[in-house]
Structure 1
Amino acid sequence: MTTITAHSPAQPLAHEHPARMNFAERVPEYYRAMLRLEQEAARGVDPVLYHLIKIRASQINHCAFCLDMHTKDALAEGETVERVVQLGAWRESRHFYTERELAALALTEAVTVLTDGFVPDEVYAAAAEHFDEEELARVIGAVVVINAWNRIAVTTRMTPGHYTPRSAQ
């Protein structure tokens, strides 16, 4: 017989790492500036696309806190479970996404990883086919902002599992 024991989100499991610091408390002005940057990054980007960008970058960066937050937000705002689940394998699951979303996902990966030190011309050109210059600049900004949040959350070991979307509160 298998027994499943629930744990309190306030108490991490033995294998979980405790949070290192509360970033917002230590540098509140910086944190507020990040929130303002987030608001500006979201302006002008389709909310559905913005969720996909945040989730995909967070997957790549292994940011459990941001994955918890952004998948919950996306689902609360009407995104399908199927599209969220398939996002990690979007190249193999292309039929779930629009061409515009696919171009943004490829750009998200290229900007997030930068393994070759640059964003490939073909990835940028594909995105430029689906977005005008202002939209493309906003998509790039959205990718940059979620990468910054991921780095803060991963470095400070923000603990996932406690977030409740505003629409569910």
Structure 2
Amino acid sequence: MTTDTVAPTAPAPTEYAHEHAPRLPLAERVPEFYRAMLQLERAAAKDVDPTLYHLIKIRASQVNHCAFCLDMHTKDALAEGETVERIVQLSAWRESRHFYTERELAALALTESVTLLTDGFVPDEVYAQAAAHFDETELARVIGAIVVINSWNRIAVSTRMTPGHYTPRSA
């Protein structure tokens, strides 16, 4: 054996698992509700920094295990210039704080607290941290963004929307 040996690589999968079918075409069955959600999305996104908005959407979708929304929002974020490194580190943002601004960190903490209301409430220290980085109008917009992505996550997970087919809009 020489020192030039190459470590073996894992074989490529011969076949991926079966893709599940969506349960319910919600947008077709209740188009007025779907249009209202789209209007709510536009209102929530208004005047929120797009980079921050993507981080909020991706982090809430990770917490909610929403594969469809993760597919969509990571692709959108990448298409708009977000780095792979920041997206990859997002699930462990507390341990990789140096990838994010203090403002982003405050929004991520608030995102988790609002998303995980099963823990009881948004802790005062999390809210105070966010309030220190956003004026009241900005904070209200961030909370709106968190509420909207959580609603989308619940729609996508409950109707079992299939990830992997989304293509970001070209700019």
Calculate the TM-score normalised by the size of structure 2: 0.91
Matched, 1:94 2:100: no
Q: For the residues of structure 2 that align with 1:127 and 1:99, how far apart are their CA atoms?
A: 9
Match among 122, 125, 132 for residue 122 of structure 1:
125
- Amino acid paired to 1:120: P
The structure-2 alpha-carbon separation of the partners of 1:116 and 1:28, relative to structure 1 and needing over 3 Å to count, comes to: same
* % identical aligned pairs: 81
- Amino acid paired to 2:141: R
1:108 Cα deviation (Å)? 0.1
1:18 Cα deviation (Å)? 2.2
Give the corresponding residue for 1:79. 82
1:44 Cα deviation (Å)? 1.1
Match among 155, 159, 165 for residue 156 of structure 1:
159
Match among 64, 67, 80 for residue 64 of structure 1:
67
- Amino acid paired to 1:153: A
- Amino acid paired to 1:30: F
Calculate the TM-score normalised by the size of structure 1: 0.92
Q: For the residues of structure 2 that align with 1:3 and 1:130, how far apart are their CA atoms?
A: 46
Give the corresponding residue for 2:4. none
1:24 Cα deviation (Å)? 0.5
Q: For the residues of structure 1 that align with 2:120 and 2:138, how far apart are their CA atoms?
A: 23
Q: For the residues of structure 1 that align with 2:44 and 2:60, how far apart are their CA atoms?
A: 15
Which protein is bigger by CA-based radius of gyration?
A: 2
Match among 24, 28, 32 for residue 27 of structure 2:
24
Q: For the residues of structure 1 that align with 2:149 and 2:164, how far apart are their CA atoms?
A: 19
Q: For the residues of structure 2 that align with 1:5 and 1:51, how far apart are their CA atoms?
A: 34
- Amino acid paired to 1:61: N
Q: For the residues of structure 1 that align with 2:72 and 2:15, how far apart are their CA atoms?
A: 20
The answer as to whether partners of 1:41 and 1:142 remain within 8 angstroms in 2 is: yes
SS at match of 1:167: coil
The CA deviation string for residues 101-152 of structure 1, in whole angstroms up to 9 with x for no partner, is 0000000000000133210000000000000000000000000000000000
RMSD (CA atoms): 1.5
